[in-house]
Chains A and B, each alone.
Chain A
């Protein structure tokens, strides 16, 4: 801890986060969890750490061509490398805040020991909702945070601090996920269901999603609900604005695994 306890501004903190490697940074006043009521009190940041006043959400991109790849090794490497980078960014940002006299803790990325997800498929903290309340993106039909920059192709981490900071504006509902249902159509396991007119986002069957590795010998890493999302500046950058080709790939994966093709989930009620 430093003797120099000066108050840090949002800009100071965002600059530090970016210099550590964060691509997107947002600030969520802790009151937004209760105010919006999307999650139960158990998943309010104050339940995890009562001194929390602000949640700082940060993201780094998962590149679209790697998300699209057939190669599970490359895909997994990206997954692990981005998680490790995020954990380091978040730890060091918490250290930066503590050093300046503002209590802070980072919430690590990888929230499960092997096999634990099958008995209790919920993490101690939702980085996705933190990103939503910090205005980095909007929780979409696929339960991922859909961002303007990368669609859902990114990974997130969070730092909780007792420093009060002004919140960033929330994303207008429906502006990043218009419920096109491409994620639902492309999902290998039909994990998403719901009524787009009635529901803000799908119901997700996490156990169906977990079981994909048992059903499909190829495409172990899946990633369909990420790569199929039409939102994101990254689609222009990589020159793949269209998404229909993924439905053809889906048919091929069912065929090569000898699994009967699931009917594509109904789209228009």
Chain B
């Protein structure tokens, strides 16, 4: 079948539906990347030839304030937006005679852990293979625009399209911020400059926050120095995250942290780590 729908048409449609990032990955990239069989696009849907990855950013000032109910709402809203955009993009392609399916975010059933959704298909890996960014030591997709502060969704199509160029260089600076800040101690330096991920530890913390309506944790996202959004939101100094606890212990009303405390105080249940000023 001739390609009557080009990448530009598809990308323009995706942006009209709300995607801020769009990338294309031919399915053979999963084979070349030696992805575990069972988690490649054609395992899920054999006719797939191209994976279209859509992304939307999370706003740093909200991520920084986590854990908070506002942060939880930001995830719910962006996931809903992505699921709708993915579904409508699949319909757009189907309407033009190119079979397509969307792989949802998988938030509806409230996954037990941040990693659970990836058991069907990893949107993070798809984002890397579609050239949107590179996976960092925090196991998230780091993008130039927003570091790891992006949510992703994927659409599979039988249409064969050119892949976008992969990012040749990694974006992760291996600063170790994510490993040091993780309140669950789930990230630890491993071999080959990568980190090991203790999924059970991350999940236990996630469930604790979820019970208070203050998931996700997001600490490994807020501390990442990568991303032009840090300049946009005037928040390039990541050392502040490490100074917070001591500064608040000394002065519960330290001005620099009051906006985060305000956001944490409302909408969810108190957590043991909250300073007394917001309990």
Contacts and interface: CB of A to CB of B under 8 A. Distances in A.
Interface of A: 1, 42, 47-51, 84, 87-88, 91-92, 94-95, 98-99, 101, 103-116, 119-120, 122-124
Nearest to A51: B234
B233 A1 contact: no
21 contacts: A1-B232, A50-B259, A87-B80, A88-B18, A88-B77, A88-B80, A91-B78, A92-B18, A98-B57, A103-B232, A103-B233, A106-B59, A108-B76, A109-B73, A111-B70, A112-B267, A113-B212, A113-B213, A119-B269, A120-B265, A124-B70
B145 interface: yes
Interface in B223-274: 228-229, 232-234, 258-259, 262-263, 265-269
B72, B232, B234, B265, most chain A CB atoms within 10 A: B232
Interface in B62-93: 62, 68-70, 72-74, 76-78, 80-81
B262 A1 contact: no
Contacts of A88: 18, 77, 80-81
- Which bucket holds chain B's interface residue count? 35 or more
Contacts of A91: 56, 77-78, 81
Contacts of A113: 69, 72, 212-214, 267-269
B61 interface: yes
Contacts of A122: 266
A47 B73 contact: no
A46 B65 CA distance: 14
B3 to A, nearest CB: 28
Nearest to B269: A116
Given A92-B18, A99-B20, A103-B233, A48 B73 contact: no
Which 7 pairs show the lowest CB-CB distances between chains A and B? A113-B213, A108-B73, A124-B266, A105-B59, A87-B77, A111-B267, A49-B61
Interface core residue of B18, B212, B266, B268 (most chain A CB under 10 Å): B266
Contacts of B213: 112-114, 116
A107 B70 contact: yes
A106 B74 CA distance: 9
A106 B58 CA distance: 10
Contact of B266 (A50, A101, A109, A111): A111
A116 B233 contact: no
Nearest to A44: B262
Given A98-B232, A111-B69, A48 B262 contact: yes
Contact of B259 (A49, A95, A119): A49
B268 A116 contact: yes
Candidate in A112, A116, A122 with the most chain B CB atoms within 10 angstroms: A116
Contact of A47 (B228, B262, B267, B269): B262
B35 to A, nearest CB: 30
A90 B18 CA distance: 12
Contacts of A92: 18, 81
